[in-house]
Amino acid sequence: MDMHTKKIRDKASWWIDKHFGLLLILPCVIVLMGMVIGPLIYTFHLSFHSWFISAVTPPKWVGITNFARIPTDQGLIRSLRVTAYFTFISLALQIGVGVGLAQLLNRDFEVRRIVRSILILPLASTPVAISLNWRLMLHPVLGIINYFLNVFGIKGQLWLTHPDMVMFSIIMIDVWQWTPLIMLIVLAGMTSVDPGFYEAAIIDGASGLQRFWHITLPLIRPAVIVASMLRFMDSIKTFDMIYVTTQGGPGWASRILNLYVFEQGFRYFHMGYASSLVVFVTSLIMGTSLLMIRFRRSSL
């Protein structure tokens, strides 16, 4: 073996030893990237075509016609309004309740671990299973919630079938399920705060509310922003919970953006237009995510 070949072999062995961990996960990364990037590329390609999925004819190239239709689609505009209402109301409640619960669990008391375990139980189940349970509990005749209301002399409500009550019910389910996630993230931020700040504030005579407002909130702001970003992106993409409970009804009262896109593709079979809507929704999520990331960096 000549010196040149030995040098190449030694260099290759050194490179493999240095990047051995990356080489182990490389096949998995390639498969996952193919599963994610492949459908995205195909969806982007299909968004420039007109294709009625039940027809035998292949997709027909229409250029930007599908995208030009988006600004004038009244159904899409109504779905955007419902999505914005659901996202911002639900997110505001989750942040408020989550920060409050985190502040409660940040104190020492005997049953803190038990309370914390109970509060995170909604995260232990899948959204579909939780939605099915809530659908049964909110049933106007057989539901346990109306039963207890009637026991106390309160008239039961049409929680998921009345236009004025359906969004309140859906937001209640979403807040119940995902507030523990906000609580855990914020609680992690609170535990990292130096106790010396509180000790100095107590010596200066600061009340509990003043300590929370002037010490806790400013120091946990990065954790609150991260939690808000995660829930904001996830709320825009909500589908399974609303599909299981109301399927967008009654009427348009709970028809959010993803459900409207699903109907365009798999109920009316307009796959080309549905693909353009997917590109639009993906761009919307990415744009808002970048803005929130930039806001987070500027607030640090």
Contact present, 48 and 66 (Cβ < 8 Å): yes
pLDDT of the chain, 300 residues: tens digit per residue: 566 676 777 777 777 777 777 888 888 888 888 888 888 899 999 999 998 877 678 888 999 999 999 999 999 999 999 999 999 999 999 999 999 999 988 888 888 888 888 889 898 888 899 999 999 999 998 899 999 999 999 998 999 999 999 999 999 999 999 999 999 999 998 988 888 888 888 888 888 888 888 888 888 888 898 898 889 888 888 999 999 999 988 888 999 999 999 999 988 889 999 999 999 988 888 888 788 778 777 766
Rounded to whole angstroms, how far apart are CA atoms 250 and 242? Answer: 11
Of 202, 223, 195, nearest to 299 (Cα)? Answer: 223
CA distance 161 to 182: 29
Tell me the C-alpha distance between 256 and 85, whole Å: 10
Name the pTM for this structure: 0.86
Q: Which fold has domain 65-299?
A: MetI-like fold (1.10.3720)
DSSP state of 206: -
CA distances from 254 to 16, 85, 91, 215, 273 (A): 54, 10, 17, 40, 21
User: What per-residue confidence (pLDDT) applies to 201?
Assistant: 87
As a whole number of angstroms, the distance between CA 157 and CA 39 comes to 43
> How far is residue 86's CA from residue 1's CA, in Å, rounded to a whole number?
70
User: What pLDDT, on the 0 to 100 scale, is given for residue 249?
Assistant: 85
Q: What is the DSSP letter of 52?
A: B
Q: List the chain domain ranges.
A: 65-299
Report the distance separating Cα 1 and Cα 144, nearest Å.
81
Q: What is the pLDDT of residue 2?
A: 60
- Find the Cα–Cα–Cα–Cα dihedral 209, 215, 218, 220, rounded to 10°: -90
Which residue from 113, 104, 293, 90 is spatially nearest to 216, judged by alpha carbons?
104
Which pLDDT score is estimated for 4?
65
Q: Is 125 left (phi over 0), alpha (psi -120 to 50) or beta?
A: beta
